[in-house]
Structure 1
Amino acid sequence: MTKHVGVVGAGTMGVGVSQAFAAFGYRTTLVDTGDEALDRAREAIARDQRFAALLGSRTPGHRVMEHLTFTTKLDDLADAEFVVENVTEDMEVKRQLYHALEDVLADECIVGANTSAIPITRLGSFTRRADRVIGTHFMNPAHLKPLVEVIRALHTSERTVRTTLLLLDTIGKQSAVVEDSPGFVTNRVLMLTLNEAVCLLDEGVATAAEIDRLFVRCFGHAMGPLATADLIGLDTVLYSLEVLLREFNDPKYRPSTLLKKYVDGGLLGRKSGRGFFAYDT
């Protein structure tokens, strides 16, 4: 039975994933390379919990924080039974992390890769536990979205799949199991939509507000594609498109020049305060 969950990477996804487990009483350890990132994560979680309390959450904020540990030491994951990896969409960064985790994690520990587009089989090849590597693609915000896309890689064992589905069920998450492919189901479709919306904006076909209003009002989407890109992070959208372009060698995944310009200029969406829309930080 899983008692200790590790979360590696204290960015937007790591913050949400750690909250999701801590809210259901799991001892949860959030790891990042620097204290500054962990301080931001701690503040973000505290803010989210205060907001949840105003909405009548049944999980008091102090209870969530009681189950959380913030650390820069991978060694603190030595007794974890399940670790969710959320680091940046950079293959070399992930390779180095997976190699480092091999020296720390218990033999039976399962690693859930929360990547946007990188094939899970490739991530498993960086380890000696390919049968215990599985894709756990949480949606943003991870502690609120009800469904997780679970990706079965080439060597993922049935025991790993069963354990993962059971664990997700205990934190109130539904699961959809899919086979391994770059971008899986969700991002293989979504990234094309987001990129095409940016192209429309770049061509002056419509404003950002009008593009999004069409999707919200005509199709019933909770938010339009450009607001969705801002929520995900424009850098993550760009990295995902670059992975899809490289993996499929299909020009339909070629990133918009405007998207690349925004990322180069530090306009990354909600996390930077401005992307296609402006946000309070």
Structure 2
Amino acid sequence: MAVQPEGTPCWADAMSSDLEGAESFYGEVLGWTFAQARSEFGDRTEAYADGRAVAAVVPPVPGQEGRSPWCLYFAAEDAVATAERIRAHGGEILTGPVRVVDLGSMCLARDPGGVVFGLWQAGTHEGFQAVAEPGAYTWAEIFTRDPATSDAFFSSVFSYRQRHMEDEEGDFRIYDLGERTVLGRMEMGEEFPPEVRPHINVYFGVGDCDEAVARAVGLGGELRFGPMTTPFGRFAAIGDPQGASFSVIDTGTTEGEMPELTDVS
């Protein structure tokens, strides 16, 4: 895939203290295969779906204890300039920007509401080689306890256009880049225990949601929500054996009418 416009989700990695266990779990649940870990890249191990790079598994890194186990990275044309915008709008830079040999430049940041995310300025590694298919990144949602702050921050940093959808379950918005929808934002209500930090929930595509859940639970994972069928697909939230949260979605199984969305001025 080509380099994506700034603000597009372009890569994801899972931080794990048991890399072998993580590879076994995600290999069975999502069908991933893995490259050999490379010490020059901090023992980062790249994951593949049908031979195409879709994510990575990395060991814990000092100074990154505040990040969620799964981290979503957004494309940046100039990571240094984007990091400056993050600071200017009340965010915090946790790591970088730092050059990763010829692969590109990365940065970890936190929004004013506590949501940790990454930036990736592409070099030879452009990001996801497949999206929106089984085993590949398909969708993501910001979960925040301070939606107004997160909305203002992300739209200022990445020039997102916002559309609003509200139902009886809470406040939800989607973020668009031009005419392309790239991200969702969900308010964390009282149903989220205080110990659950603001985060970005990453969805990976599967051919059958229920089968993926059964495999995950059988391997020591935890079903946290669902499965539930929506107009966007049948999905479930899962915790891996080390506690990292992610979701799986079968976009071919849908139910109900698409909701109406209202532009936010």
| TM-score over 0.5 for the pair | no
Provide the TM-score with structure 2 as the length reference.
Answer: 0.30
Structure number with the bigger relative contact order (C-alpha 8 A, sep ≥ 6) is 2
Provide the TM-score with structure 1 as the length reference.
Answer: 0.29
The structure with the larger Rg is 1
Q: Which of the pair is proportionally richer in strand? A: 2
Q: Which of the pair is proportionally richer in helix? A: 1
